[in-house]
Structure 1
């Protein structure tokens, strides 16, 4: 398998699609929010990126996008199962799987073969945590992680009280039930990182945010709320959905929403890079490629590594 990772706005998906054309590949998404249907602009699906122009337009097959309904809580355990279904499907066709995305925990979980158990809701625990601030919940989570020796649930994943409570629920369950219910094999993969300079990344993030707002991102969130999805469920998804929902319900002005969201995405990209550097410290070899190189040159570099 080939893995292409990098921070948001680094150009991972077009590179994965261009590479897939050359190696007869199919793409498995590693994005924790693109699994949701009708959450398109805010999650940056950019499905046009999967179409590559050869002698004619060719759409590269992709997996694990638009597989569940908004309002549900997709999780790492489910992702592992879905990943292996997609991986075996691609291998069975004699094609090359290309894992592509920026959710470091999902990527590391499937490459390492994390042993996870499905964690049920603990209503008593949830009730006891209700009313605590995100700062208090984060401190509790850090203490549990230290006890468990866990590297799950970094700050990328717990930017709301709901997410922090779920993370505490998982860590508490794993502490009491250390024996895994199943084992999944690690995956041998060539790992490519798309390296983009910090200032260029910041510029692209801001430009892309403005473009997505112009494309109707606010209307997308309004439509989800009109379906009956509660505001707190949308806030749970973080980033665009958190700040746009708070704008729509009147908690933020438009300018406050834009400014706070822009900062949050910059911070998110920084945390993604921190995770990837942590993967290197944990024994993964990531081959970094300059994001600004011409596409053909980037593809040729990867083909030489293969």
Structure 2
């Protein structure tokens, strides 16, 4: 087919990544590896937009990986993602199938496409105790002393900020012998959607998921014993819905704040992807307004050129 090892489909929320990846997988006899940091969690379905029905194309179920692999409350990290990605990648290759990476979590995508050499960072109890009484603003200032803050999700909550500081402190204090990650030749496809269309789709999808029972999903997770702070840690839908369910926000406050947060998140995703281009990633953009056939035809043409 081509000499690519991998096709990656990335883009902001509501840009049609999954639909495109599944249709392309059907055409290429491929399997999908998710690059979404929240779809990993079991039971977190509506809030993460798993849309599992999209993985059935013309009656055929497209195999997918790295969805529903850990329980809510667990703090999954990029190192684990690289490990699990490689397991899925090699399994797909052993079955003579082609892997398609699909998602919108920039750090996960970069860690694979650039082959970051990462190590697991252990908990630093002493540091955590020292930071425990700090406000989110104070923690953000501390973190900014370690690095330039490109990713606002690092400081979305106190827990995230403390973990980010813990990682940076570990990297500063240790001369790391970083593990090897294979270099993969990847065709990177970006799904581009204009700002107004994106905003409209985000708002429509939010209303739909609330109607489908997203609040009940959060209530179920809490009733199963997931701590409210752990759900808030995951941000966006789970943050604001948990605050609503626990009486911290009215329905109207939750809806308005969540809608704004999702719009801001999509904007940050695009900022990340443009940053990837500045780092040298060659992203071939397809327009959401194109038909599915036009998008697939364009991608096949790119594959043919590399053959």
Fold agreement, TM-score > 0.5: yes
- Report how far residue 133 of structure 1 moved: 2.0
1:232-266 deviation line (CA, Å, top 9, x unaligned) = 01100111000000001111000000000000000
1:21 counterpart residue number: 26
Deviates more, 1:267-276 or 1:176-185: 176-185
1:107 aligns with: 109
TM-score by length of 2: 0.95
Matches within 5 A, 1:22-171: 22-53=27-58, 57-146=59-148, 154-171=151-168
What secondary structure sits across from 2:249 in the alignment?
A: coil
**Is 2:294 the partner of 1:297?**
yes
Instruction: Name the CA shift for 1:19/1:157 in 2 (closer, same or farther; >3 Å).
Output: farther
Could you list the structure 1 runs, at least 4 aligned residues long, displaced by more than 3 angstroms after superposition. none
Q: Determine if contact 1:112/1:185 at 8 Å carries over to the other structure.
A: no
What secondary structure does 1:144 align onto? coil
**Distance of 1:62 and 1:208 partners within structure 2:** 23
Equivalent residue for 1:5?
A: 10
SS at match of 1:100: strand
Q: Cα deviation per residue 1:123-164 (whole Å; 9 max; x = unaligned)?
A: 111111112222221221121125xxxx8x711343111111
Aligned partner of residue 112 in structure 2, secondary structure: helix
Q: Which residue of 2 aligns with 1:238?
A: 235
Extract unaligned runs of 5+ from structure 1: none
Q: Secondary structure of the equivalent of 1:279?
A: helix
Q: Can you give the 5+ residue segments of structure 2 that lack an aligned partner in the other structure?
A: 1-5
Number of residue-to-residue matches in the alignment: 298
Normalising by structure 1, report the TM-score.
0.95
Shift of 1:47: 0.2
User: After superposition, where does 1:189-228 map in structure 2 within 5 Å?
Assistant: 189-228=186-225
Out of 177, 180, 199, the position equivalent to 2:177 is: 180
Shift of 1:181: 4.2
Aligned equivalents of 1:156 and 1:292: distance in 2?
Answer: 29
Shift of 1:68: 0.4
Q: In structure 2, the residue corresponding to 1:98 is in which secondary structure?
A: strand
Post-superposition CA distance 1:190-245 (Å, at most 9, x none): 00000000010000000000100000000000000001111101100111000000
